[in-house]
Structure formats: structure tokens, C-alpha cells
Structure 1
Amino acid sequence: MSNLRYILYFVFFCLSTITTQAQASQEDNPEGRLTSPMPIREDSLNIALDKAKDPHKRIELLLDLKDVTEGMNNEAGYVRQLFNESKEGRDVYGLFVSIMNIVIRHATHEEKEDSLYNYYIKTIADIEKGTPAEGAATFFKMTIINRKINTENDANTQKELFKQIRNEFQALQPHEDKYQKVNRLYNEGLMRVWEMNGQGKKGVYKEQIPLWQEAWDIAQEFPLYTKRYYLSSIFSLLSSGYNQEQDYKRLQQVTTDAINAHKDFYTVSAVMYPRPFLYKDNTYVDFYTQLIRGAMHVSDDEAYKMYNLFRDHMLSAKDEFLDKNKIYLYETAYLFLTNMHHEKEAISNCDSLINMIETGRAPGFSRILRVYKDKAKLLTNVKRPEDACIAYERAIQVSDSLIKKEYVERVEALRLKNDVNRLELEKTSITAQSRLIGFIFAICTLIVAISVSVYYYKSLKKTRKLQEEIYRQSIKAQESEQMKSSFINSICHEIRTPLNSINGFSEVLIDDATLPEERKEYQMIIQENTHLLTSLLDSLIEVANLDSLTEALTLEEVEVTALCRTEMELLHKKEGKDKIQYLLDLPREGCFAHTHPQYLSLLLRSLLNNANKFTREGSILLSCRCNKEQKKVIISVADTGCGIPADKQEYIFQRFTKLDTFTHGNGLGLYLCRLIARHMNGNIQIDPHTTQGAKFIFTIPMGKDDR
């Protein structure tokens, strides 16, 4: 019999280890609730949600759906939807609840870190200022740091983690706000606890009381939503410190403050969002448990007083919440009564909890084997070894039934999967046959269709080519007609003006009544218009020559700076204006280019005349540079005239184009410049960065003498 008992002890120890791990998984519940779903209402709530249009009502329904599906697979979907709609409506309460759930579930997942910090927490940080949720973003960060500290077991990695956290705190400390300060005090104390535990020291919580008490005092002034959560986190550590110090008075004070903060939170938040399916009483279990533990250091009467307060609170619930409360009550009761050496009463409460488990009124409760084990210990303590053995045997039966239930569920799932696969296979076989017939028919149809399509494609391709060619020729004809009309209009206008002047003033000169001074002036006007007419005809001839040129120009080595100096002096002498400075920026050494001297002179003359025409005052700068890396000569003409709009900087290089139709000119100058540049293997363009006036940049290949 004794050997059997030892075997039972060993088996129970192994099973209790497994259930301990299951118990730990419950800590991921954001609200600390049991994970049993309420067997109601999800469908009706979804129907109401589909009909609801008001954003506030939709958030209320999503909160209810989250509460009734707590612990179920579809809870995460409602949480994400709650977050999205709360973000859109800037509802801080909905954001707070949804982000709390997300952070608690994923705080230790490294791959989630970016989304936690950069998306969810940033979302509430952007709108929390001045609201009851102010400080929420810092609390979520505090929770993430807390989870990382508590889940890191490797000593070296833990040391590096602590160093990193402290460096971040130190960098932030000079300008930290009150929420960041609480975060620093809370987690600094927690890191010290881990370090002292690693050194084998005792009373590790007691020594951190000053840090946590300071954080506690600061958090008392926090807004309503965040105060409850900050105090709850700090309480879990501070209460342990006061229990180690056996300071029951302070323990009682912080517990009372925490309970009142939770009651205030639930009372005020219920005005906006009632949340009838939210299970709240479990949040008070830790507070009363710590009070009961602390009261044991004072007196049995005080311990019983705290236990009865806890009992009354848990039994005040109604409906399905009462069963949940009884689970906590019976478990806490038998553990408390065991410590008070009232084994018979402890056994009674243990039996009540076992009865709830076996009648299916404790869904989701994971510490089942521990309850049977504790009952066996209690029976052993009261000298009932046979009943103790029965309790251990019952524990093994329960364990077997749980394993068998899991096995049956898996087998049933596999059987259903097999049936589905078999039906799918039959369906696939029938579908394959029908598809084969359809495939053969489709192939035949496709061959016919391809043949017809190829025929029509070739015909259509020929037709499109003819249409495109006709369209191109039509466009060319229109462009030619337009250019012809533009050319005739421009030539007629440009020739008529100087001819009219020549004709008119010639008649005046014939008149004997004309004074000698007037004759001289009229002769100058006739000479000027003759020059203008000659220039127009020269430009037309040059454009015609270059347009019809089929062979490359004969290029030679030309000293560019000399040409630049000559053309600038010619402009200054013939067309110079008093209010304009004519400037040269040329290299000291000669600059050679592989070009055509006459056409280069013509290009420079056109650019300088163009600058002179549109500049009333200021300066005209002709510069030349040799870029030996690119093997190019860069010539630029900059003026301080009226400038050229950005959208017209390509337009002006077209034939017969002028920005101002009332100014003298034939619209050929810049077109001729670009034509010359291309024939000399160069390029001309306007500097788009010039804001005052205009700057033309002309580049041609460098000569062989520049090395």
C-alpha cells in the first residue's frame, strides 16, 4: 500500500507541473477574467452591430462582443475592429481597452515590437492628452518592459536587457513627465528584485518599498482610466513588500486605495459604456488575498475579518457571475483555512470547488489536479489516509479523463476530417470527369476560335498600320499647314513692318520740304529697317540651309574665348544700352573647341542679341568654361531681363515662336541656335534654376588642344 502511495505521489507531482504551466497561461488575460465564454448573445449582438450606425453605439456593442467572447478564438477579431472604429471616432476608452488587450497578448513577441510601439501605442499617444486616458501610452510601454523583465531567464541576456532599459531611463530622466517617472520607479524596483534574487538575498521586495511607494503616491493623482491600471500594477509589488516587512497598516491603506480606485473606475466608466457582460469581481481577488496574508501576521481575528469581507464581496454577485466568484472563493477559502489549521472547513470548501468542477460549472478552470492534490494533503493531515488515497486515485481518474477527452476530441476531429476528405475526393472525381468532357469541347472550340482570331488579327493589324500611317500623314499635313500658315503670317508681318518704314520715309525724303536734320534721321530709320529686313532674310536662309543639310558640318579647332570677346564687343558697340553692364567671364588660358567658327559666332550673336532685346537694365554676362572631365566647353549667356516661364522654356526653341507677339523678331533666333548646336554635336538649354532673368547654357565638344 505504501509503494502505491509513493507512485501516486510521483504521478501527481508530474501532473501538477503540467497544470502549473496551464495556470501561467491565464496571466495573458488582459482583464484577469476566467476564459469561459458566456453561452449567449454573440449572434444577437452581431445583428445589432450590423444595424447600428451611431459610432458610440457601435463601440458599445463591440465592447460587449469582446466581453462575451473573452478567451475565444474570435475575440481578437472584435478587439481589432474595436481598435479601428475607436481610432476613427477618437474614442479614448475604446482605444484603451483594445490596446490593453493587444499589448498584454503580444508584449513579449519581438516580431510585434514595431507595431506595438509605432502604431498602436502611438495612436492613443496622439489623442490622450487632457483625456481620462492620459498616460495610457506610457502605461503600455511600462507593461511591455515589465513583461520583458519577467520573461527573460538567461542571466547574460537579462543583464544586457537591464542595462539597455536603464540607459533609456537615464536619457529620459532630465525631462520626464509624471507618467514616465512612475514607469522608471516601478521597473527599476522590479529589476533590483531580479538582481537580488540572482544573488540569493532575502527580503528583496521589502528593500524596494521606497521606490514603489513614491510611484504609488504620484499615481494617486492620475486621470481616472489610467489610475486604476497604474495602481494595480504597483500594488502587486508594493503589497508584497509590506507583507515581507509585516507592515499591515500600510498594506491595508494601499489595498483600500486600490479597491476604491477600481470601484471609481467601474462606476464612472459605466455611465458611458455599461458593459453588462464584463466580469469585474476577479480584479478584487488579489487585493483581498494580500490583505488576508498580511492579516495573518497581526492576529487570527483580523485574518478572519478580512476573509469574511472577501467572502461577502464574492457572494454578492448574481447570475452567471456568482458561479465564477464561487470558484475564486472556494479556492481561496480552503487555502486560507488550511493555513489557519482548520482542515475540516478547508476540506468542505475544497469539496465545494470539486463539485463545481465535476458538474461543469467551472469551465476554463485549469488547476483541477492541484485541487485534488490539496484535498489529499488535507485528508492526510486529519488522519484519513484511506480517503487521501481515494482522492489521489480520483486525481488520476480526472487526469485520465482529461487526457481521454482530449484524445477523443482529436480522434473525432480526425474522423470528421477523413469523412470530409473522402467526400471531397468523390466530388473531385465527378468534377474531373465533367471537366475532362468540357476540356475536350473547349480545346476544339479554342482551336476554331484561334484560327478565326489569327485571321482577324492579321487583317486588323494591317488595317491598324494603314490607319496609323494615315493618321501620321494627316498630323504631318496639319503640322505642315500650320507651320506654313504661321510662317506666312510671321514673314508677312515681319517684312511688312520694315518695308512700310522704308517706303514711307523714302517718300518723305523725296519731298523738297524736308529739313536736312529730318532727312538724316529718316535715313537712319531706313537704314535700320533695311538691316532688320536683311537679318530676317539671312535667318531664313540659314534655317533653310541647316534644315536641308544632309552632310555633317566641317568642324575645326577654334579658340572660343576670342570669339566670345569679339561678339560681346560687337554687341556693346552696335546695340549697347546705357543702363546695361556687358560682362565677360572667360578663362585666362585659351579654351579650344571642336566646332564651326562661323556658325558658333552666329549662335553667340543670336544669344547676345536676344538677351539685349529683353533686358532694359542690369547686366548681360557671357561666360566660358572648359570641363576637362567631361571634355566639353560650356558657354552661358545670362541676363537680368524679364525671364522665361518654366512651362515655356522648351516652347521658345520651336520655329516661329515668340512669347510676346508685340516685340520685334521673327521667332527664328532660338530655333536657329538649337539647330546650329545639334549640327555641331552640342546642346543648348535654359538653366531652370535661374530665378531673375534668363540663362542659356550651350555645350560643345572640347578641342584636342585642351588637355
Structure 2
Amino acid sequence: MTGRLTTGNIFLLILLMTGISCPPSLYAVENHKDSLLNLVEKIKEPDKQCEIYVHLADLCNGNEESLPFWEKALQLAFVTNNESVVELALDYLIFNNIWYGNKAEAERFSKIADEKLPEDRGALFRAYMRSFQIWKRLDTGDINETLHESLKKLRGHQGNLTPEEEIEWEFLTALSIDYGVMVSGAYQELNEAIPYLRRAVELLSAYPLEQRYPFELLCYRKLANIYTALDNSAEAVLIIEKIIELHKREQAGQKFCFGFDRIYYNDDSFYYEEYVRLLSLPELSAEQLENYFEEFMRLHKRLQYKDQSYWQVLTRYYTSRQKLKTALSCNDSVIKCVHQNSRSADCLFPYLNRSDLYKQLGDYKNALYWLAKSDSVREQLHSEEIRQSMNEMRTRFNMDKLVLEKLKSDDQTKMIALIAVLIISLCVIAWGLHQRLMVRRLQAVKDKLLKSNEEVMKQSLRAEESEKMKTAFIDSMCHEIRTPLNAINGFTDLYFSEGVDESTRGEFQMQIQENTYRLTGLLDTMLELSKLVSSDEALPAEPTDVYAICAQQVEALKERNIKKGVECTFRGVPSLCTFYSNSFYFSKVVSHLLDNAIKFTQKGEIILSCLPNVEKRVMEISVTDTGIGISPDKQEWVFERFTKVDAFVPGTGLGLYLCRLIINKLGGTIKIDSTYTSGCRIVIELPCQSSVH
């Protein structure tokens, strides 16, 4: 040893003196920045300067202030041929410039990547950057145009694609399916995108981890989004856990790739975001929920985030633990965050969640209030969609008009040149051809305008119909709620009046109780209807004894039947088939049909029949009465919302609509038998799922 200090030893000594080798939590961020900025002026070696600029960028924690530091690190990495830092810096520069809306800067660094990255190692990174930029363009631009341009370039090399282009092809094909589904609304086709992403991940496995990491992370995130959209929580959990594991492995190998430790890099935000996504998935097991929530809270203590996603996670967690009041408090914070961001459209799901929490607590008044608020937001969103569609049509019309004017101007200029060169006869022929072409174009524009006008009229009629239905619903509900409320108020006043004997008080008490049940049933029906209408899923089904339910409902009808001239009869035979149904909702349907029959039958008989039809392999359930009946022209109309055969008979006009909604979700059918003329007969057919041998 000669005792001389080499340049590398001097650099390490300065790092120790400035505290760079210590954890960043021991020093203020600004002090570290100042120290590093002073140090970078003293150090002359490009590789050490590059390392310091990476540290400075990491201290900025991904915000816009980090961009100049990443650009300087990129320049020095090119000088020192540090390909890992080159790719890292380009990734940050392109991603963050897109994030902060600096489109021109993002394109500039994309060109640098295309020009300066080596062919062998840089091919995969360039494919990743193109795929990432296309994904972001799809979120903000013309979906069809963007996908068409991107896939067109690759189709030109079809049959002669490089391995990197094959991966890009698989990813972009999955994107085209995903966003095509968004445009068409055919969400059942979303499954078709999964095999392409799986193949892309399989092809990426042939590359080293430090090269494939960004592209593989991109594929996994798109897979997680698709599984979440398909409500496949089990697969979504597996993919998000793979994302976390992939990031841990990549971070463990960074020192080997870069040649130094990123001691100021903090990836807590990365893990926080992934655990938020995990905790937002439905159908998590209790163990998964506890484990993910514990890790989420550990990250939260370090980051101290109090954003909307934090309160949403707490709301869902406490709801699953049945701590409903705590969940309500957290839901309040979600709504406050939404209001602070001035995004009223985001209030829909917090309002619905709040209504459901009040319903679980038994506070139906507040549940109905928040349900009404969510309906108001939904109506507002619907109106905004209509307004946006009309604006788009108007814009297209103006654009077509400008194009037409430009074409006309160009054609006139061409005609002047032709007249100067050609003889009159050729000019006449050319003019005739031109006019024919113009007529076709004008006809095409006219057809487009007519179609646009028809669409505007349809949207206007839908809006008017929606407004009328809302008005009818409010009027009907006000009347139906006011009737039992008036009865409750009136009998309550009489109950507390002086001079009323105990027997009369008992009758008043029964009237108060009966009207209270009626009002509660009405609100329950509305909440149930809202739940059924807002969900497209089938009702949960299990083996159900349909015969026993029908028998129970007839006995219940006999107990509450106060009409002496009406007889209630049950005719049924137990079936040898197994019926998968929902006993709660099926009971509600049968009960409502029987109540309807007794309401409109003053004298005669009500028959509930439950008989198997062997040929059709169904169970036929029918309710027959000798009441006023329903005319043939109204036998389908009565199954619509807010329809009543007799406007003077109490009711909301939702009963038969709710019955058909439930039976359809149970896989059956319900209709009125038009051949029966002595009253009304409603027939339900439930399919048999399996035979009992």
C-alpha cells in the first residue's frame, strides 16, 4: 500500500461524510439535495455523477422536479455505457412526461430511445415503450384510430416478426379486444384478451429479469384489470400477488445491474397501490382480508396517506367485519374526498354504499334518502351522456361541413386548370363526372345527418320518457306513503283522546300496527326493487322445495283473508325433480300474486296450483281467481312499472313488474293465461335442474 487515495476511495469517503450511505429518514430531504448538488460539482468521474443524479431524482420521489435530474443521469449513462441506467431514466422520463401532460417531451425521449438504444438489448425496451404509450393514448384519444395505426405497422411485418415484435403484437391484440369491448359494450367477450396477455408473459420469460421487468409488469397490470372487470377475484388476487413478487425480485437485483444502491428510492407507494387494489376486490376470504389489511395499514403508517382510496379500503374492511357504524364514518370521509375533488360523478357508489350500510343497520329512512341521492347522481350522469352525445354529433356535423367546403374549393380550382388545357367537350364530360360525384357525396352526408337527427330524437324521447316515469313514480310513492302515514297519525291522535275505552284503543292500536307494517313493506319493496334492477347477475339459487313454499303461502293467505265470500284452495303434487331456486324471492312472488288475487276478488274462489309438467320438465305454479280479470290488450302492459288495472285500488304498480324481474332472474317465465275468462290466471314455469333417481 502506498497510502495514496484513489478517485473511487475519495468518492466513497465523501458519500459517508454527506450521509448518503445512511438511511434517508435520518436527514431532511432538502439537506440531502443540497449536499448532493454540492458534491456533484466536485466529483469529475461521469459514473459517480450519474449515480448522484439518480439519488437526486429518487429524493424527489417521482414528482415533476425529478425530470431534470433523470435527464442529466441519462446523458451521463450514455457516456459511461450504463445501459441499465439508460433504460431506467428513459422509463421515468417518458412515463412522467406523459403523466404530467408533457406530450412533446415524451415523444422526444421516445425518439432518443429509438435512435440510441442498442439493437440487441434495446429492442425489448422499445417495444415496451411503444406499447405503454399506446395504452396511455387509448385512455385519452380516438380508440379505433390509435389501435388501427399501431397494429397496421406490425401487420406489415406479419410472418417475419422479431421476438420483441411478437410480444408487442400479443399485448396490442389484447388491448384492441379490451377497448373494443368498451366501445361495443359486449363485456362477455373480454375473456378473449386473456390468452394473448398470457402468451406475451410466456414469451417474456426468455429474457433476463432486469430487461423484461417493465413489460412483464405492464402485462400483469392489464391482466389484473381484466380479471377485476370480469369479477374473477381469485385470479385477480393471484396476478396482483405476482406483481408484488415481481417487483421485490427486480428491486433485489438492481444493485447488480446499476453498480450502486438506490439508497433514496422508496417503493412504499408502489406496494400501497397494489394493496389498495387487493382490498377493493370482492369475495376475499377472511384470512386474506386480514393479511392484506395488516400490510396496508403498515404501509399507511409510513406514508400517512389520507386520500379517497384509504377511506374506501377502511369502509370495505369494517363493513366486512360488521362494524357498520365505523364503516359509515369512513364512508363519510370518502364522500368528503369526492366533494373536495369536485367530481360529483364519483359520488354514485359512495352514496349506494351508504344506503346499503343504513339498510343493514335497519335505518330504512336514511337508506331511502341516500338511495334517492344516488338515483339523482345517476340521472345527472345520464343527462350528461346525452348532452355529450349531442355535442359530438354537432361537432361531427361541423367537421363534415368544413370538409365539404374544402372539397368544393379544391374541385373548383382543378376545374379552372382543366378548362385552360382541355377542349370544351372534355370539360363538359369532366364537369358531368364531377357533379355525379358531388351528388353522391352530398347524399352520403345527407344520410349521415338524417341518422344523426334520428339518434338525437331517440335520445330526446328517452329523456322525456325517463322524466315522465320519474314523475309518475314520485306521485305514486307520495300517495302510497301518505295513505298509511295519515292512518297512523289519525289513529294515534284518537288513541290518545280522552273518553276512549280500552277495547276501542285496542282496535286503534291494531290499525296503527297494520299501517306501520304496510309502510315498512312499501319501503322494503322499493329497496328490493332498486337492488334487483341495479344488478345484472342471476339470483343465488339452492335446492328448493317449491311445493312446500306454495302450501305455506296458501295457509298464510287463509289467516289474513277477511273476505267471507272468498275461499282459498291449494292444489298440488310434489315433484320428483330438484329445483334450484331462491326460497326468499320465490316466496315473495307467490305471496304477492295471492295478495293481488284477494285484492281484486270480492266473491268466489282463489286457487293456487303447483303441478309438475313432465313433458316440459318444469313445475307449473298458477294463481287463479274469480275477480275482475285483465283485458287481453293489457295482459303484457300490467308487467311494466307503475301500471295499475284499477287506479282506485291502493298499490304502487310495481308488484307484477317485480314478480317478472325475480322469476326471470330465477330462470323461469311468468305470464297471464289469455284462455281463462272467469277472472285472472297467472302462470309461472320453473325449469327442473336434475332428476332424482
| TM-score range for the pair, normalised by the shorter chain length | 0.3 to 0.5
Tell me which of the two structures has the higher relative contact order, counting C-alpha pairs closer than 8 angstroms and 6 or more residues apart: 1
Q: What's the TM-score, normalizing by structure 2?
A: 0.41
> For the pair shown, which has the larger CA radius of gyration, 1 or 2?
1
